[in-house]
Amino acid sequence: MAKQSFSGSQAAQIAGITYRQLDYWARTNLIRPSLSDAKGSGSRRSYEYRDLLELKVIKQLLDAGIKLESVREVFNYLRSHVDTEIAAAHIVISGKAVVLCQGDQLVDVVRNGQGVLNVLPLANIKSDVDAMIVTLADRNAVAKSQPSSITSQIAVQTVAL
């Protein structure tokens, strides 16, 4: 089955960028068309769906205030470290930092993977606390149904008087 092909002007329109931006990004190797590249005057670039997703990610990073130079670093890192489609990656943007969420780690992709942080899964903490509350409630219920030894002793002493 042949992949669907999109012209440069279609790709630019779908991604929400200008044709000039698309042309510049292709000429400077930020993103090259996967199906066919321009080979001189009169030839046309052909982009596939995956390229459109990457163009849209680039546009969103730029719209979020990330400089084009940093976007290039982000894409270099993502292309060499993300096994799935780049558009499927989870990216967190904080100021000038772009952080990739990979499993249980956060990786600063602008700094080429330096500044790795571990993610604390809060869902597990919640379930652990909920389980402890149930356990304590069960213990309290058992304790209330069985008189303690001190209570038993007081009751026995009261009866003896």
Q: Is residue 19 very low, low, confident or very high in pLDDT (cuts 50, 70, 90)?
A: very high
Reference 98, options 115, 83, 120; nearest CA is 115
Rg of the chain over Cα atoms, rounded to whole angstroms, equals: 30
H or E segment and range at residue 108? strand 105-108
Give the global pTM: 0.63
**Residue at 54: amino acid letter:** E
- pLDDT digit string, tens, across residues 30-41: 998 987 666 656
Q: Say whether 6 sits in a helix, a strand or coil.
A: strand
Structure tokens at 16: 């929400």
What average pLDDT does this structure show over 108-118?
65
pLDDT for residue 55:
92
CB 4 within 8 A of CB 51: no
What average pLDDT does this structure show over 96-125?
68
Q: Say whether 72 sits in a helix, a strand or coil.
A: helix
Q: Which of 7-11, 48-52, 138-142 has the lowest mean pLDDT?
A: 138-142
Alpha carbon of residue 125 to chain centroid = 20
User: pLDDT higher for 112 or 98?
Assistant: 98
Q: Could you tell me the end-to-end alpha-carbon distance of the chain, in angstroms, rounded to an integer?
A: 96
